[in-house]
Structure 1
Amino acid sequence: MAEDEQRGALYRPLVPDQHNRVTYAELFFDLVFAFAVTQISHTLLSHFTPLGALQTTLLFLSVWWLWVYTAWVTNWLDPEKTAVRVLLFALMLGGLILSTSIPKAFDSRGLWFALAYSVMQVGRAMFLLASTPPGRTMARLNAVRILVWLAGSAIFWVAGGFAEGQSRLVLWAVALGIEYLSPVVRFWIPKYGASSIADWAVEGGHMAERCAGFIIIALGESIVVTGATFADLPWTMDHVTAFVSALIGSIAMWWIYFHKGAEAGSEQISKSSEPGRLARLAYTYLHMPIVAGIIVSAVADDLVLTHPGGRSDLRTSLCEVGGPLLFLTGTILFKHTFRGFLQLSHGVGIVALGVLYWFAGQLSPLLLSILASAIMVMVAVWEAISLGSKAQSEATSA
């Protein structure tokens, strides 16, 4: 009984109508993933081919999955407890090994990447299982299900680490597919069956704040890349204009996500009768294109700063338009989960970006950047005005 109580003590206390704050240990842990995001953007920049883009996408999806699984676990377990903090610090070590392996993950450091990833995923699941007392039957069964799925995918990760060339890509794609499919089928395994959404007890405010923090990480990485590149360039009018355009684009992304969306999403998931379902869709899956869009935009900023003149090549056009396009697609779907309608401003922005891409090859990288940033500013201002007017009309009618 004493051992069960000790295990259960690692769980966060569930207090009705009280938001679990993000701890300093979690923020410290996130620093590793700030580095990982930087590695991904640099890898895409240096391997911008169809195969390189596919490989970088797989690496991004794996990094995101590692982070979001840890966010789920720290939603349940209390990082203020020493044992949970030690877990996070151990995961930081694994995360650093994984992050430093990213540029050569499909070359000489594939096995290091696979081992770091597998040990982090399986080890964290084992810790969750060991931390869950037998008295918490549903939580314990969920931990078992998660462990089985992650252990199964680890076989393909490690096998891919030993393989070479296209075989590694295929094996890792299978491993990632297993992991992304598992929440959809609610971690079904023989004998135990599938979990129910009601079993996924989640503190919505904490999950929303954690994912908002990752958006800040990605935006911060974008600003770091922009600033580092600009610092090494001559400060000509073109370079200064490109720098300002990149910063305005990042500010517009922040405004679109945080001005109304992040807070409304946090309130909605906190009040939801099925927070687990909303957390799985809105924060586990739909945040992927949002983060990916920021990373691709950071690559575009680097390309434009380095070569602002001439005509935009295919790489610059794809990144400069594709980054905001991914971001808006993710945000419009994310906001749809709690607003129940597709934001018109975002839809118009997506269409405008599509039109811009049609003419991108005829424009200079600098002009393309300015127009893409202008579209994002238009979306941010439009949404702010429309939601402000709606709130004012509702207040007047009330």
Structure 2
Amino acid sequence: MGEQPVGTGEKRVTWAELYFDLVFVFAVTQVSQLLHHHHDLAGTGEALIAFVPVYWCWVGTTVQANIRDVDTPRGRLGIFTVGLAGLFMALALPGAYGSRGLLFGAAYWAARLVLLALVAGIRGVWRGPYGVGALVSGPLLVAGGLLEGGPRVALWALAACCDLAAPLVFRGRLAKVRYDPAHLPERFGLFLLVALGESIVGIGGPVAQSRLHAAQLVSVALAFVISCALWWLYFGYAADAMRFALEVSESRRDLIRWVFSYGHLALIAGVVAVAVGFGETVAEPGAALGAGALGLLYGGCALYLLSFSYTRKMMFGVISPTRLAAAVLLLAVLPLLVRLPALAALGVLAVALVGLNGWEYLRVRRAAAGEPVRSAA
């Protein structure tokens, strides 16, 4: 599977790609609303099944833009066409498991067919992830949209598994593709920013029309500190490491698959869960959180932190002990907070994440100075 060179110099994100991302700002909001209305175990699973095609559509477009020159009329029209299909998917999400299932499936299939056409010049491309999306997972989503209840969920789950498995099954074919190491870290970082933007909506949306008493203002401030801490953990420490790892990697294909395609799915899912948790928390800071809302808030943060240990292991062969310990701590204290006011839950989480960022800042400074870092007592 040969590919044309992507050009000389560092590949940059195009304006068309940034405009394309605006569709997925809306799509992430719709996924959040789906999870907001049904955040029990079954609802969380259904939201994840619906999110995977949305995310995979974005990934397919981003990888296509990485290996091809898309800053052309044809490339821009292709990206915008996929964006239109993504917009239809987003519109279908509130009723994806109801009357809009067929619209969701058909829009995804259309997006995958367009993406396959955009990379049609690559020899044997249909025997890879783009072919799987157009010939397998797309039809499965359409077929699921024609059914109801359990059969729809089952077919859509199978489609999601097919999409996720395709890079593994066809990893030998993907090894022949030339990837630009500067473009992909920037693109995936931008999608994470989209998810973090949803956390801001989750903070401000529930209280924007209320009387804004003092406890609500404190809860908004604490939630914003948590969102900032999540930003810092990625963009303060991990983003540059991911780009460096991709630049020096002997197998960019494997790193893209494990760290970006899969790792960022977990990172973004964690942030979306936290955003929905904010929506359940800041409006009534004096009320005790239920297990579902607390699970989204603390479980989402734990997933986010665990994802860093996974990505670090994939990049450098070691885990992130501080983030792993913080994730375990959050899960351990979760049952103790069920009966406490929401404000207390936000405060504990804010202190934990700020403390984690402070500890990692000291580790980085001491490592740069060549000083040994002693274990925390």
Q: Which residue identity is paired with 1:297? A: V
Q: How does 1:274-353 map to 2 (within 5 A)?
A: 274-353=251-330
Match among 101, 106, 112 for residue 115 of structure 1: 106
Q: Distance in 1 between matches of 2:52 and 2:111?
A: 15
| Number of the residue aligned with 1:195 | 173
Is 1:204–1:279's contact at 8 Å kept on the other side of the alignment? no
| Number of the residue aligned with 1:59 | 50
> Which deviates further from its counterpart, 107-116 or 220-229?
220-229
Is 2:137–2:159's contact at 8 Å kept on the other side of the alignment? yes
| Number of the residue aligned with 1:205 | 182
Q: Distance in 2 between matches of 1:87 and 1:54?
A: 31
Q: Which residue identity is paired with 1:30? A: D
SS of equivalent to 1:305: coil
| Number of the residue aligned with 1:136 | none
- TM value normalised by structure 1: 0.89
State the Cα distance separating 1:264 from its structure 2 match: 1.4
Aligned length: 369
Q: Distance in 2 between matches of 1:228 and 1:154?
A: 34
Q: Which residue identity is paired with 2:319? A: L
Residue 123 of structure 2 is aligned to residue 140 of structure 1: yes
Is 1:245–1:370's contact at 8 Å kept on the other side of the alignment? yes
Match among 21, 24, 29 for residue 15 of structure 2: 24
Extract unaligned runs of 5+ from structure 1: 1-7, 133-138, 188-193
State the Cα distance separating 1:174 from its structure 2 match: 1.0
Map Cα deviations across residues 221-266 of structure 1 (whole Å, 9 max, x no partner).
2112312222122211210111001100010001000112101111
Match among 7, 13, 38 for residue 6 of structure 2: 13
Match among 160, 163, 169 for residue 185 of structure 1: 169
> Which deviates further from its counterpart, 51-60 or 113-122?
51-60
Is 2:67–2:177's contact at 8 Å kept on the other side of the alignment? no
**Cα RMSD for the two superposed structures:** 1.8
Q: Distance in 2 between matches of 1:32 and 1:155?
A: 23
Residue 356 of structure 2 is aligned to residue 370 of structure 1: no
Q: Which residue identity is paired with 1:125? A: L
Runs of 4+ more than 6 Å apart:
none
| Number of the residue aligned with 2:60 | 69
Q: Distance in 2 between matches of 1:103 and 1:226?
A: 21
Q: Distance in 2 between matches of 1:282 and 1:19?
A: 21
State the Cα distance separating 1:307 from its structure 2 match: 2.1
Q: How does 1:74-153 map to 2 (within 5 A)?
A: 74-129=65-120, 132=121, 139-150=122-133, 151-153=135-137
Residue 231 of structure 2 is aligned to residue 254 of structure 1: yes
Q: Distance in 2 between matches of 1:297 and 1:147?
A: 31
Q: Which residue identity is paired with 1:224? A: V
Q: Which residue identity is paired with 1:391? A: A
Map Cα deviations across residues 298-339 of structure 1 (whole Å, 9 max, x no partner).
111111112211322112221121110111111221233223
State the Cα distance separating 1:67 from its structure 2 match: 0.8
Map Cα deviations across residues 171-205 of structure 1 (whole Å, 9 max, x no partner).
11111111111111116xxxxxx5252x1321122
SS of equivalent to 1:80: coil
Is 2:145–2:152's contact at 8 Å kept on the other side of the alignment? yes
Q: Distance in 1 between matches of 2:95 and 2:18?
A: 27
SS of equivalent to 1:306: coil
SS of equivalent to 2:128: helix
> Which deviates further from its counterpart, 339-348 or 20-29?
339-348
State the Cα distance separating 1:391 from its structure 2 match: 1.7
| Number of the residue aligned with 2:337 | 360
Is 1:259–1:384's contact at 8 Å kept on the other side of the alignment? no
Is 1:126–1:147's contact at 8 Å kept on the other side of the alignment? no
State the Cα distance separating 1:64 from its structure 2 match: 1.2
Is 1:308–1:366's contact at 8 Å kept on the other side of the alignment? yes
State the Cα distance separating 1:296 from its structure 2 match: 0.6
Q: Distance in 2 between matches of 1:12 and 1:44?
A: 41
State the Cα distance separating 1:270 from its structure 2 match: 1.5
State the Cα distance separating 1:158 from its structure 2 match: 1.0
Q: Which residue identity is paired with 2:40? A: T
State the Cα distance separating 1:147 from its structure 2 match: 4.2
Map Cα deviations across residues 327-368 of structure 1 (whole Å, 9 max, x no partner).
111122123322332122202211210222120213211101
| Number of the residue aligned with 1:5 | none
Q: Which residue identity is paired with 1:178? A: C
